Every structure is written in C-alpha cells, then in structure tokens.
C-alpha cells in the first residue's frame, strides 16, 4: 500500500537538499543569483577562464586575474542589498564589484570594488570600499565563512561584515569619473574577482534585494 509522505517531512528534506547545494534559507525579498551547481546567469571575462570552478556549492576563484559577471537580469541594479557568503584561504585576495559592466579583459573600469582580503600583503582588508574608504583592521579569519552585506541607496554605500558596519560612506556630489576607472554610483551589475594564482576565494549564497 502506498503512503504519502507527511508535509513536515517533505519540508525538512527540501531544506536539507537546499543546504547541501550550498544555498541558505530564503530571506524575504531576496533573490538568489547562484544555483550552487552551475554558472547559469554568470559570464566569465574572456581571459583566464580556468580561474573559475564550482566546488561544494560555492564559486571558487583561483588562478590568474579574471572576473565573473552576473548577466541574467537585463534590468540594471541601482539601489539594492547584496549578500554574499565568502571564505578565503591564507594569503588570498579577491573582490566583489557593484555597479559594474561586463568587459572582456583587465580590471573592471566601471563601479566600485568591495575588497576581500584577510592576510594578503595588500593592507586594504575585507570591509574596504577599495581605494575610497579602506579598512586596515582584519575583521574576519581565513578558512571561515563570513557574510558580506552591501547596501546601496542613492549615493550612499553601507558595507557590513557579519553585521558589523565597516563602511558607511556618502559619495560626494562633485565626484567625477576618473580617466582610467569610472568609480561613481550609477547603475550596473555585480562581478566576482579572481585576483592571482596564489589566492583562493570561495563565494556562495549570493542573493540580492532591489530597493528601487
């Protein structure tokens, strides 16, 4: 005789499956940008694509400089909350770009970089809005997952590391794009960074909530 699985048991199994795939419990208003299994919705720069892989439900950046751009949404992101779980191995450097645009090679010219670095030789540590408002203090440890929470509202950026505010910054009204890099708040997408062959950074549970 066939029996139906109780509803509660079904929910528990679904939660277990979600966790095993590297996905966190859904948060109200947030949309997942990474399925934990494939690069669906993401596009690698046309250089050093071997720097990217997926392991145990996480995107792994390890190798020569390369960037991975989120391209699944045609509508640019303007005001939003972005959350990403990140883990570094010792001596690693990486980054998360906001308000950026896809480009084939080199360092992204558009948008701001949020630094990923606990023990790399670069003195700008995790929590930094790179080259704009930098953090010298090491806020988290290597080999441990932490959560980045990046909030953009108008011309204001808040960066939290495990709920601790690291940056609370207003872009000056007279700030102009630079000759080489357009570091101004406007609109765009997100990108992850593979920095160098000695760095290994893992990204998972990538989710966003629009505030438009």
pLDDT in tens, 167-198: 999 999 988 877 667 789 999 999 999 999 99
* Domain assignment of residue 103, given as a range: 29-210
For the domain that residue 179 is a member of, what is the CATH number? 2.60.120.560
How far is Cα 103 from Cα 189, in angstroms, rounded to an integer? 12
Residue 133 covered by a domain: yes
Residue 14 covered by a domain: no
Residue 51 covered by a domain: yes
Residue 37 covered by a domain: yes
Residue 153 covered by a domain: yes
* DSSP notation for 52-75: EEEETTEEEEESSSEEEEE-S-SS
How far is Cα 75 from Cα 55, in angstroms, rounded to an integer? 29
pLDDT at 150: 98
124-177 residue pLDDT tens? 999 999 999 999 999 999 999 999 999 999 999 999 999 999 999 999 998 887
How far is Cα 176 from Cα 62, in angstroms, rounded to an integer? 33
Q: What is the pTM of this model?
A: 0.87
pLDDT band at 96 (very low <50, low <70, confident <90, very high): very high
Q: Which residues contact 178 (CB under 8 A, 6 or more apart)?
A: none
Residue 139 covered by a domain: yes
What contacts 24+ positions apart, CB below 8 Å, involve 34-37? 34/59, 34/203, 34/204, 34/205, 34/206, 36/204
Which of 169, 92, 161, 162 has the alpha carbon at shortest distance from 129? Answer: 169
Residue 2 covered by a domain: no
Residue 43 covered by a domain: yes
What are the tokens at 181?
Answer: 């890099």
CA torsion sign, 61 to 196 to 111 to 79?
positive
Using the 8-state DSSP alphabet, how is residue 9 labeled?
Answer: H
- Our count of domains for the chain comes to 1
């Amino acid at each position: 005789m066939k029996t139906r699985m109780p509803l509660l048991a079904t929910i528990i199994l679904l939660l277990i499956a979600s966790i095993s795939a590297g996905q966190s419990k859904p948060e109200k208003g947030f949309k997942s940008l990474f399925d934990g299994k494939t690069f669906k919705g993401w596009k690698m720069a046309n250089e050093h694509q071997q720097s990217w892989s997926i392991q145990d439900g996480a995107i792994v950046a390890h190798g020569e400089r390369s960037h991975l751009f989120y391209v699944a949404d045609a509508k640019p992101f303007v005001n939003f909350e972005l959350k990403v779980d990140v883990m570094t191995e010792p001596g690693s450097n990486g980054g998360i770009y906001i308000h950026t645009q896809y480009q084939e090679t080199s360092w992204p010219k558009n948008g701001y970089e949020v630094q990923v670095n606990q023990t790399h030789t670069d003195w700008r540590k995790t929590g930094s809005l790179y080259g704009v408002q930098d953090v010298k203090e090491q806020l988290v440890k290597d080999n441990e997952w932490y959560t980045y929470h990046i909030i953009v509202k108008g011309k204001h950026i808040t960066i939290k590391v495990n709920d601790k505010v690291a940056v609370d910054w207003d872009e000056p009204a007279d700030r102009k794009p630079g000759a080489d890099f357009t570091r101004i708040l406007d609109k765009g997408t997100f990108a992850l960074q593979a920095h160098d062959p000695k760095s290994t950074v893992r990204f998972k549970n990538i989710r966003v909530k629009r505030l438009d």
